[in-house]
Structure 1
Amino acid sequence: MFDIYKLMWGKRNLVHTLALQEMKKEYAGTLLGVLWGLVNPLLRIAVYWFVFSIGAKVGKNVDGAPFIAWLACGLVAWFFINDAFRLSKNSFRSKRGLIKNTPFPIAVLPAVNVLYSYYIHLILLATILVVMVFYLKTISVYWLQILYFDFAAFMLLIGIGSVTAPLVAVSKDFGKLIDTVLVFLFWMTPILWSVDNIEGPLKFLVQLNPFHYIVQGYRDSIFFSTGFWEYPGYTLYFWVFVFVSFVLGNYLYKRMKPIFLDLM
């Protein structure tokens, strides 16, 4: 049931090495190197803050949390989700040469892209947390919960990457569809707005989005001193979703591997 994930774990040193190689390749020849991983997301945070707080004048404190800090926290979580999702879904198609010409354990490729995205994420996360300490003038033991939500996001993205990578390898149209869905999810996930602004069935539907669990978990940890164990039903739902994605990803890979190897 979990054959490809056992392979990922067994080849974890290879996954780590390949993720670092991806980082070196991405920033090779640049003056700032991996610091470019900070420049783009920080500029995007600044733009969103300006649009909503200065331009539209709707950037008010959220349950006592300063809007700019609340916004930055949600965006940091989303940047990791978006980058890892986008790269992992293309992990087979983008490595066609490697897959065709070498006896390579291709099942590990989604994990390589998720880990690469996580390493970049850690640089941004560390920077934001340092800024938060000075901006909020406080720190809490609940901040350690971010390690749990990072692990939860990592596992979710491994599962999603394992599901989508074989499908994208078979059809480029499916990759285009996912790109569109990611844009939709960005606006429908409570990143720029609070889920408490809506009520009833619509709020329930928004909370079914597993990415909301991660984004809200970041904010609960930093601003609201709320433990994930305080909403056990939601936590159980999230991990059931992850489990299902793992099972489906393993099934699709084994079923579709001969097909996408021929097509690529």
Structure 2
Amino acid sequence: MFNIYKEMWDRRKMIHALSLQEIKKEYAGTVLGSVWGLVNPLMRIAVYWFVFSIGTRADNPVGGAPYAAWLAIGMVAWFLLNDAFRLSQKAFRSKRSIIKNTPFPIAILPAVQITFSFYTHLILLVVILIAMAFALQTVSVYWLQILYYDFAALMLLLGLGSVTAPLVAISKDFGRFLDTVLIFLFWMTPILWPVENAGPLENVVKLNPFHYIVQGYRDSIFYHSGFWEHPLYTLYFWALVLVLFILGNYLYKRMKPIFLDIM
């Protein structure tokens, strides 16, 4: 049932090597190199902090957490979700030359893009956690829970990438539609605002699996809340991941001959 994921696991060393190549290629020819993977998100966090803290003065603490720190942790989680999903859904289409000209195990391509994004994410995460330790003057064992939420994010992204990559390979318009969806998700996922502000729509907002990851980061850093304290929400998240895995495997098997001909 999960042939595509078995192939990814069997070729995990290749995925790791190709991800490192992607990093080298991404920053080749730049003076700062991979440091740009840190500078760009930090500047974006600073801009959003300035707009919402200085511009609109909406910088009240959220559940006792300083807004700037609360925002930064949410943005770190979002950068992983956004970048990995954006790259993985275009994994087949963006690698047309490799697919056409070499006998390449194309099933691993979404995983390569997700792993590339994850390695970049780790650098930013370490820097932010060090900053949090100084800013909050405390470190908690709950911070280790970030490892769980990173794993959960990778599984979610793998499922989403497996579902969307074959569809984008067939239709470039679908890829543009997903880019628009990501913009919508950024503003509708409680990254810049607390989910409680949604009022009666709070439970609807929580159906977005990205919220599970973003809120999980914040629960780990600020609120010392374990994922096991939200059993129904956790069960919903993993059930959705399982559905995506099954659907992704099915779509890849059914659509591989089609998109190989089209590309």
Offset, 1:21: 0.2
Offset, 1:199: 2.2
Offset, 1:155: 0.5
RMSD of aligned alpha carbons: 0.5
Q: Distance in 1 between matches of 2:205 and 2:2?
A: 29
Asked if residue 262 in structure 1 is aligned to residue 261 in structure 2, the reply is yes
Q: Distance in 1 between matches of 2:250 and 2:100?
A: 22
Write the mapping of 1:1-264 to structure 2, written as runs, cut at 5 A. Answer: 1-200=1-200, 202-264=201-263
Q: Deviations over 1:102-160 (max 9, x none)?
A: 11110000000000000000000000000000011000000000000000000000000
Offset, 1:198: 2.2
Q: Distance in 2 between matches of 1:261 and 1:87?
A: 19
Q: Distance in 2 between matches of 1:78 and 1:209?
A: 13
Give the gaps of 5 or more residues in structure 1.
none
Q: Secondary structure at the match of 2:30?
A: coil
Q: Deviations over 1:225-262 (max 9, x none)?
A: 00000000000000000000000000000000000000
Offset, 1:84: 0.1
Give the gaps of 5 or more residues in structure 2.
none
TM-score, structure 2 as length reference: 0.99
User: When the two structures are aligned, how many residues end up with a matched partner?
Assistant: 263
Identity among equivalent positions (%) equals 71
Q: Distance in 2 between matches of 1:25 and 1:246?
A: 29
Q: Deviations over 1:1-48 (max 9, x none)?
A: 100000000000000000000000001111111110011000000000
Q: Distance in 1 between matches of 2:79 and 2:225?
A: 23
